Amino acid sequence: MPDDGKARPRFPARLESVSPTGRKAAAGLAASSTAVLRPQSPLRQAHADADPRRSIPPAGLGLVSRDVRQRMVDRLRAQTGVHDERVLAVMGDVERHRFVDPALAVQAYEDTSLPIGHGQTISKPSVVALMIGLLLQGPQARATGSIGRTLEIGTGCGYQAAVLCRLASDVYSIERLRALHDAARLHLEPARPRNLRLVHGDGRLGHPPNAPYQSIVSAAGGEDVPAAWLEQLAVGGRLVAPTGGPVEGSQVLVVIDRTETGYLRTRHDGVHFVPLKSGFA
């Protein structure tokens, strides 16, 4: 459905919308829109207005303590295949409980996926770490120490985007559901990442205006990797995406490196991601 700009709250005043072509969005015409997080935006107030519960960190649970996140990181290091200390350091910083419903906040530092509404889930911390770790091992990332310009498909609640933008030069994160795109914007506002743009649209088309991307990561799985992602991957870049047939348990993480002459494809762990759907709502 096109973005008609009517049904949504009119905040924040400074949140700029641009179309995928980079032009300012005209009501009713944009195929998708991009929210630019401005440091001086009045989102904090909007956040409180939109959902008062979310503006109050759960009290008395110790969730704001760095120790809670450090324990999660220690468990990830010990119990999973995640050993990239750069990813673990960032995950030790980002407050995951701020991205989920307050009723689920006590589970935020367990290695589990959690519902985020609209039938979607926030990915398990170990899976987030695994995917970003794979991006960091890409040829160009090894050479530069950064995952560079990054495209994320499936913003969801915005947690993975928050981690990505600490390891990337700039991040474009696309979500097809307007309600989740808006929620992610609210969750991310306190940290105010300057190098993150949230896009509302169909991520199967990638995001041509800012291509090519050194890194592309998908949090939703289709039967195969859309051609647009391969086209928008830079030479020397790496794509990580869950891919697999409709049969339960057949989804795996696929890593694709673009070389001067073509694409190198490798299959990794079995995973279970929500489906990559067409269109946006």
Q: How far is the CB of 156 from ligand SAH (least distance, A)?
A: 2
**If binding means CB under 6 A, how many residues of this protein chain bind ligand SAH?**
24
Site for ligand SAH in 170-229 (CB under 6 A): 174-177, 180, 202-204, 219-220
**Gyration radius (Cα) of the chain, Å:** 18
Q: Please name the residues in contact with 23: beta carbons below 8 A apart, sequence gap of 6 or more.
A: none
Cβ distance 30 to 19 under 8 Å? yes
Among 160, 214, 232, 243, binds ligand SAH (CB under 6 A): 160
| 121/129 Cα distance (integer angstroms) | 16
Q: How far is the CB of 2 from ligand SAH (least distance, A)?
A: 15
Task: Indicate if 215 belongs to the active site.
Answer: no
Which residues partner with 197 through β-bridges? Answer: 36, 172
Give 194: exposed, middle or buried? Use CB within 10 Å, 0-12, 13-18, 19+.
Answer: exposed
Among 20, 138, 148, 156, binds ligand SAH (CB under 6 A): 156
The single residue of 19, 32, 33, 123 carrying the catalytic annotation is 123
Q: Is 274 in the site for ligand SAH (CB under 6 A)?
A: yes
129 sits in which H/E element: helix 125-136
Q: Is 122 in the site for ligand SAH (CB under 6 A)?
A: yes
Query: Candidates 6-14, 57-65, 86-94, 113-121 — which segment interacts with ligand SAH by CB under 6 A?
Result: 113-121
CA–CA–CA angle 224, 133, 261 (5° rounding): 55
Footprint on this chain of ligand SAH (rule: CB under 6 A): 116, 120-123, 153-154, 156-157, 159-160, 174-177, 180, 202-204, 219-220, 274, 276-277
User: Would you name the residues annotated as active-site residues?
Assistant: 123
